[in-house]
Amino acid sequence: MNPATRTAWDALTNNAARARSVHLRDLFAADGQRFAKLTATWNDWLLDYSKQRITTADMTLLLDLWHSADVAGWMGRMRGGDTINHTEGRAALHIALRHPAGKGPILHAGHDVMPAVHAELEKMRGFAAQIHGRHWRGATGEPITDIVNIGIGGSDLGPRMATQALAAFRHPEIRVHYVANLDSADLATTLATLQPRTTLFVVASKTFTTQETMQNATSARHWLVQALGEGAVARHFVAVSTNLAEVARFGIDPENAFAFWDWVGGRYSLWSAIGLPLVLAVGFDNFSSMLAGAHAMDEHFFSAPPAENLPALLALLEIWNTNILGAGNRALLPYSQSLGLLPRYLQQLEMESNGKPVDRQGKPLTCATAPILWGEPGTNGQHAFYQLIHQGGRLIPCEFIACKKPDFALPGHHEKLLANCFAQSEALMRGRTLDETAAELLAGGMAAEQVALLAPYRSFPGNQPSTTLLLPRLDPYNLGALLALYEHKVFVASVIWDINPFDQWGVEYGKQLASRLLPVILGTTSGEHLDSSTAGLVAACRKG
């Protein structure tokens, strides 16, 4: 059902003009209990959304929207293994990948998937033990010191992001690298730092046909064979794939292929064997802790009422900012260098999931869906784009993530980091009026003529909405919960927008065109079918 036809949606849109005209500093001045009313907690987490341009009455209407969209019903369908990815005829059971053993079945097509899930986890555990215990040896008998994950999209972004996020937990003798881009610079610069005899490649592709991945894997194979010979491939390559025939044809022993399932979408697959490089980077026990954190967030999502449900609240705030206030983007601002890749990871999770033009009935939507997501860790971003957020005149909802305790405890750093994070959200909310600026400059001893000249430049409108998510620390458990939080947030928003968040036909279309265009670039077919621009670009490249 198109969300714009719901009664609750109408009630919210009727509030839009009022919401746009109210300043956050006035909302805080009018209600001394605003923070207490507009925060939520879970375990040791705090979600502060009191700096959003929203009232408790608006939240009541958003909760009405939750109920009218039957979000709870859709949650049950997902948990029950229904085919909620209807355009591809698949379930979306990523929650099964972190479901603990002994806590009951999770069914898909009437079969419990948990035995297969935990068998694959045990296989990952055993393989990691071989690598970390120096029992797995390369072709020359030396232990492995470097892992290169070759994948793209969901087979790269998740484990790459989590490996950086958990840098404080890395195995001291294993270095993990990631190659994704088809551009040869990605692979070449990585290989330049490595020795073939101590390097292991993980080729991650469900079908073992992904163009970018297989080109990089083929080039890596050639690099290895040149140094160590054809027989070395089986000791220096493993696969994460279900296409065992292609795995064997490549030269990888099918026994060294790790499986995952078609009821797991790529961008939801970190919890599966796609997480193998992360296991090798931080150890299986830390990976298990990450799964436990994700499962804990699953339980919170499925059991907490929407007014206390963190994924639900984030989704409803996104609906408010996108569809009621008209924001077309959102800045994700983790005040954690270890979470530096989180914006990139969430770009795929959110924009690939919810960047859709039609509803579940195939009818065009009459409302916007996923906003453009972008961001950079603090404090780096403060010296790049915060100027535009503060004074650029655009509505940019911001999402701050901070940790009470640092993951690397160097004296004098973390307190300053937190001070900057909290100060930025305050400045975005409050702003500084022209009169306040003038008074401050005069109090500082500036001449009145100079004040009149400079005060307009040093004034800030404020009223930029933000949310702050405060975690106790960045460790495997809390990282798992954080990523599951955003997975469920995306799902809730998709239900309210009435879209399928689990397909990605826009990605597939580009791949189809590239396959058709490659023979033209190679000169094996003509380009008669091409438009004049594409034909001109190809011709310019072929001229050299």
pLDDT of res. 512: 85
Domains 3-81+292-429+464-497 and 507-543 share a fold: no
Q: Please report how many Cα atoms fall inside a 13 Å half-sphere around the Cα of residue 396, on the Cβ side.
A: 22
Domain boundaries of the chain, sorted by first residue = 3-81+292-429+464-497, 113-282, 431-458, 507-543
CATH class of 113-282: alpha beta
**pLDDT digit string, tens, across residues 200-238:** 999 999 999 999 999 999 999 999 999 999 999 999 999
Please state, in angstroms and rounded to a whole number, the distance separating the CA atoms of residues 64 and 30: 25
The terminus-to-terminus CA distance of the chain in angstroms comes to 53
Can you point out the beta strands (E) in 58-168? 107-108, 111-112, 146-150
Q: Cβ atoms within 10 A of the Cβ of 440, count?
A: 14
Q: What CATH fold (topology level) applies to the domain 3-81+292-429+464-497?
A: Rossmann fold (3.40.50)
Using alpha carbons, select from 326, 382, 328, 289 the residue that is nearest to residue 19.
Answer: 326
How many angstroms separate the Cα of 210 from the Cα of each of 124, 158, 187, 536?
Answer: 23, 17, 16, 28
Q: Please report how many Cα atoms fall inside a 13 Å half-sphere around the Cα of residue 289, on the Cβ side.
A: 15
Alpha helices (H) in 431-472, listed in sequence order: 434-443, 448-454
Digits of tens for pLDDT over the chain (544 positions)? 778 788 889 999 988 888 888 999 999 999 999 999 999 999 999 999 999 999 999 999 999 999 999 999 999 999 999 999 999 999 999 999 999 999 999 999 999 999 999 999 999 999 999 999 999 999 999 999 999 999 999 999 999 999 999 999 999 999 999 999 999 999 999 999 999 999 999 999 999 999 999 999 999 999 999 999 999 999 999 999 989 999 999 999 999 999 999 999 999 999 999 999 999 999 999 999 999 999 999 999 999 999 999 999 999 999 999 999 999 999 999 999 999 999 999 999 999 999 999 999 999 999 999 999 999 999 999 999 999 999 999 999 999 999 999 999 999 999 999 999 999 999 999 999 999 999 999 999 999 999 999 999 999 999 999 999 999 999 999 999 999 999 999 999 999 999 999 999 888 888 888 888 989 988 888 888 899 999 999 989 888 6
Please state, in angstroms and rounded to a whole number, the distance separating the CA atoms of residues 27 and 468: 17
Alpha helices (H) in 23-97, listed in sequence order: 24-30, 34-37, 56-68, 71-79
Count of positions (residues) in the chain: 544
Task: Show Cβ contacts of residue 293 under 8 Å, excluding neighbours closer than 6 positions.
Answer: 476, 477, 478, 479, 480, 481, 482, 484
Residue type, 214: M
**pLDDT digit string, tens, across residues 55-107:** 999 999 999 999 999 999 999 999 999 999 999 999 999 999 999 999 999 99
How many angstroms separate the Cα of 59 from the Cα of each of 75, 326, 516?
Answer: 21, 17, 50
Q: What SS3 class is residue 179? A: strand
Please state, in angstroms and rounded to a whole number, the distance separating the CA atoms of residues 287 and 273: 11
- DSSP letter at 43 equals T
Q: Which residues are the active-site residues? A: 352, 383, 511
The token duo for 342 is: 């989180």
Please give the CATH architecture assigned to the domain spanning 507-543.
Answer: Orthogonal Bundle (1.10)
pTM of the model: 0.96
pLDDT of res. 447: 97
The token duo for 195 is: 């020795």
**pLDDT digit string, tens, across residues 494-531:** 999 999 999 998 888 888 888 889 899 888 888 888 99
